[in-house]
Structure 1
Amino acid sequence: MYKIMLVDDEAEVREGIKESIDWKRHGFELVGDYASGCDAIEAVIELKPDLVLSDICMPFMDGLELTRQIQLNDPYIKVIILTGHDDFDYAQQALRLKVTDFIVKPITANELRGLLDKVKLEMDKETENRENLSQLKMQLHQSLPLLKERFLERMINFSLCDSEIQERFQYFRIQPMSPPYLVVAIDIDYLSETRKGRWGNDPELIPFAAFNILEEVTERKDAIIFRTREEKMIAIFFGEEEEGLYEAAFNLSEVIRFCMEKYLKYTVTVGIGMVSRTLCELPLSYKGAVSALDYRLLLGNNRVISIRDMESTNTSLQPLDIEWNRKFSTIIKTGTFTEAKALIEQLIGNLKASLMPIEACNLQIQTIIFAIMNTIHELVGNDIAHFKGHGILLKDINQFKTLDEIEKWLKEICNETISYISDQRKDLTQLQVQRVIDYIEQHYHDENLSLQMLCRHVHMSKSYFSLLFKLQTEQTIMEYVTRVRVGKAKELLQHTALKAYEIAAKVGYSDPQYFSVLFKKHTGSTPTHYREMLKREKS
């Protein structure tokens, strides 16, 4: 329901209009009628109507002046002017005052009702638009903190012009900054693991709590702080001379690191960039701060790292041994996990001491991984996909933030690889031994069957395969051949009437005398006595 006010110096006109209109039916509530503009303007201020229906010719204050006064107090109040004069000058002035309608008397009751219906529709639409606008303004106000962070994030990632930066600073009510500038990046160590701990019920509390501490530490300091979409916290320090700015940033960073560990029970690593002289150079300072964070790969977590310190380091340490991959391959093929562990610890120690660029460090690790994969492929061929640790080898090395993590990862790989290759070698040995056993079973009658012939069958040296065979069967190869031949001879003595010399020839012995001696050695009797003993047992 809209509020309407009637203004006319003629009482009869006011009464006629009031009696001829059912205000509620047309969506209006008549809140008052007045004989002059002076009386009406006081009521407008108090009652705040939505629509004023006013005559134009009135004493003391005419309709046009009333309209001016209404516009000054509330530009959203609509005014319809009624006049008995078809005067173009009046109409022009009314249009300049943005009068809703300018109507020449006389007007009938039906015409006035139609006019009210028309104005109500316009007011309904405007109200809906204003409500939508209000809702948008409210949403914008609620989103301002996030929009502010996105602008600051864009400012440190892209070189924006000073005019745009100053304009957005004013819009977001950001305190002005004076050069020089220094960007500091704070990153929570092991954020995903930390979220699984005591913060598991609400993982977003972790960055929120950390940012609260950052706000407290940097309070009353010349610094602008915000969060990025990568969940890093950024502080831009400014206003001091260069060395003082570095010192202030480093000291505050140490306080931030200490407070995080003490009060939140988790750690952060802080990267400090290079000083920039202009706002458009901020991306260079930010890039330096993020690069400093990468050096925790060498130095470890829970540290404050300045890119200036890292890039100015001039070490004369020995270069890394280029034969690391060959050493790893040799140990994996023939060594033990103890040897591999010692080599890994030596490698990581050298990498930490070298302070080499992160990219070179990652390349060194990847070279070793490729060496391990090639070694496995050499030993097991295309079956590498069945290697249980195959997924570990393919893991992205860039996910690790410290060399300690990489050291643990490499040890897992080597342990898994050595165990896998050992199992494969054991399975292969069993297979080769079984192949020789099968060959003996098929060729025991060949008097030329020899150790050399059997080792050649599996393509192995006599010394090495003899050792493997004895480990598997607890007897030498030729002892096994003799045991098989004697066993076959016992079967022939029991189930055939062949002479001893004939049986000797069938089981691979051309000398019957030697066969008899060998048979007695293994059974305790000669072939003839063994047959007689079998006959007595049957009778």
Structure 2
Amino acid sequence: MYRVVLVDDEFLVREAVKETMDWGSRGFELKGCFQHGEDAMDYIRDNPVEVVLTDICMPYMDGLELSRLISREYPHICVVILSGYDNFEYAKQALKYRVREYILKPFSLVELGQALDGIREKLDQESRERRKLLRNREVLKSKLLMRLICGNSSAAELETELKSYGIALRGSKCMVAVGDAEIRGEDKESAELLCFAVYNIAAEIIGRSGIGYVIQKLDHQLVFLLLGNFHERWGEKAEKLFQVISDSVKDCMGIRLTIGIGCSVNSTAQLYLSYEEAEDMLEYRYSQEAGAILYRERAEKAAVFEEWEKLQENLLNAVREGEKRIAGEALFSLCMRIQESFLKKDRAKSIIIHTLSEARSMLEVMGMEGFEAYEQVNKYISQIDGKKSLEEERSALEAMFGGLVDAVAEVKDKKGNERAVLAVDYIRSHYGESSLNLQSICSYLAMSPSRFSAMFRECIGKSFVEVLSDTRMEKARELLETTSLKTYQIADKTGFTDPHYFSLAFKKATGKTPTEYAKEKRR
């Protein structure tokens, strides 16, 4: 919104313009109405104004004198004269004072609105041109400083040009830092404006500190150059300064600015070493939270961890067992360990890729190559470079591994039901074999006893021993009812090697001995 002041000694004119003009829709905000030029000038000296609408003939200070003072003291302000005098001398003086518009009274709101629209277009154009000039100046200044920082030119070679931008290279210590702003999903022009705003916040804070300069690069990055006569602990001061910058950018714009700090050097000729280290420190930003301040001492203090396979195994075991909550906790532990270990992007990515490869191998063993879950793992591995941070990676991995848990559980349920049916059929076909036991049926199904027992009970609702015992008792009752076989013969046919044990088991199941049962049922 452009701010407007209205000056006219006629009350009705002021009220009519104030109340009937739709200021906001035209991009303006009426900040004040005054009877004469003196009051208006007092306000202008204390408040920012872009447009003044003024009458000519007024007491104390007329509109032409007001225009003269504005053109001298505030040449950026647009003045529009509203006058009932069609006098060439007035118009000539107005041109002399760079008045933008001269509108004769009585005028219509349409006429005034058209004039304001034209002024807004001119102000917009001037604003764009000023920003362009400012950016061009900043670009030229940035190029000079980057030549110094990269070691392409010496301070002596650039001294004259740097002075023209007000840059003085003083101090016994130098340091370079590189900031990376997290700007995504914006078109090119919007992204450039956001980057420029980030630069302005950083430049203002650095300017207040009086110890350095900020350079805006073209890839959402800022380069900081700090210079001065500092004590040995000045690295801590630099860290706090950069934390203030990062926090301010986040608070003001919601953009997270991660900053890598280079080493301290003793001369501008060594700035390239500090710059290289700052760039290297930004390689850790993938594994750290966006907006972090990264420096060598922090990386060196990070704990060394090598038991990645154990964390991966915990995750894959949870997927196999269908434990979605435990799988989520295992993935969180893996990602947190990567962050705590302060790993560079390549190393962190390699751990994630290895975890995904192990998950893919697990699916292959389960015969799930053609499943959507298997294709999702392959797709994720092929697009692994698309994620910019571990935080973003973890969110995507949580969704993918959650899908894997569901897919594996579904396959296990289906295969479990199939195997449970096979097991029951096997029991019914081999119940008469005394050698039939848990180990023999597990060998037949190629499953471990623990896995088979869990699967069988989940699908059938009884244990293997219970189903085998029920089947043998069922067949024993059938033989006792329909044949004249002796007890020891029926015991042998139903898988019992000891007739006495068979009798005890039968009575426990039916409440009667085999002989009592036979006498009752054979009548």
With the length of structure 1 as denominator, give the TM-score of the two structures.
0.49
The alpha carbon displacement at 1:219 in A equals 4.0
Partner residue, 1:241: 229
Equivalent residues of 2:148, 2:155 under 8 A apart? no
Partner SS state of residue 446, structure 2 = coil
1:209 aligns with one of 197, 203, 225: 197
Partner residue, 1:469: 456
What does the per-residue CA deviation read over 1:28-87, in whole Å, with 9 as the maximum and x for residues that have no partner? xxxxxxxxxxxxxxxxxxxxxxxxxxxxxxxxxxxxxxxxxxxxxxxxxxxxxxxxxxxx
Equivalent residues in 2 for 1:82-481, closer than 5 Å: 144-145=136-137, 148=140, 151-152=143-144, 155=147, 158-162=150-154, 166=158, 169=161, 174-178=165-169, 181-189=174-182, 191-192=183-184, 202-219=190-207, 221=210, 223-238=212-227, 240-243=228-231, 249-250=238-239, 252-277=241-266, 279=268, 281-296=270-285, 300-307=289-296, 309-310=297-298, 313=300, 315=301, 319-320=304-305, 322-330=306-314, 332-333=316-317, 336-344=323-331, 354=341, 367-380=354-367, 382-383=369-370, 386-387=373-374, 389-390=376-377, 391-392=379-380, 395-396=383-384, 399-401=387-389, 411-412=398-399, 414-436=401-423, 455-460=442-447, 465=452, 467-474=454-461
Partner SS state of residue 187, structure 1 = strand
Equivalent residues of 2:262, 2:277 under 8 A apart? yes
The alpha carbon displacement at 1:177 in A equals 4.3
Partner SS state of residue 301, structure 1 = coil
Distance 2:138 2:239 in 1: 27
The alpha carbon displacement at 1:306 in A equals 3.9
What does the per-residue CA deviation read over 1:225-263, in whole Å, with 9 as the maximum and x for residues that have no partner? 33222211223233x225497577555434423432332
Structure 1 residues 369, 281: CA separation in 2 closer, same or farther (over 3 Å shift)?
Answer: farther
Report how many aligned residue pairs link the two structures: 372
Structure 1 residues 380, 157: CA separation in 2 closer, same or farther (over 3 Å shift)?
Answer: farther
**RMSD, matched Cα:** 5.9
Equivalent residues of 1:272, 1:305 under 8 A apart? yes
Q: Which runs of 5+ in 2 are unaligned?
A: 1-131, 476-481, 497-501, 511-516
Equivalent residues of 2:285, 2:345 under 8 A apart? no
Structure 1 residues 250, 445: CA separation in 2 closer, same or farther (over 3 Å shift)?
Answer: closer
The alpha carbon displacement at 1:429 in A equals 1.2
Equivalent residues in 2 for 1:7-18, closer than 5 Å: none
Q: Which runs of 5+ in 1 are unaligned?
A: 1-139, 489-497, 531-539
Equivalent residues of 2:246, 2:258 under 8 A apart? yes
- Amino acid across the alignment from 2:147: M
Distance 2:341 2:133 in 1: 52
- Amino acid across the alignment from 2:205: V
- Amino acid across the alignment from 1:182: M
Distance 1:141 1:375 in 2: 60
- Amino acid across the alignment from 1:325: E
Equivalent residues of 2:472, 2:495 under 8 A apart? no
Partner residue, 1:77: none
Distance 2:451 2:336 in 1: 38
Equivalent residues of 2:312, 2:334 under 8 A apart? no
With the length of structure 2 as denominator, give the TM-score of the two structures.
0.51
In percent, how many aligned pairs have the same letter? 14
Partner residue, 1:38: none
Partner SS state of residue 192, structure 1 = coil
Equivalent residues in 2 for 1:25-104, closer than 5 Å: none
Structure showing greater radius of gyration is 1
The alpha carbon displacement at 1:270 in A equals 2.6
Partner SS state of residue 226, structure 2 = strand
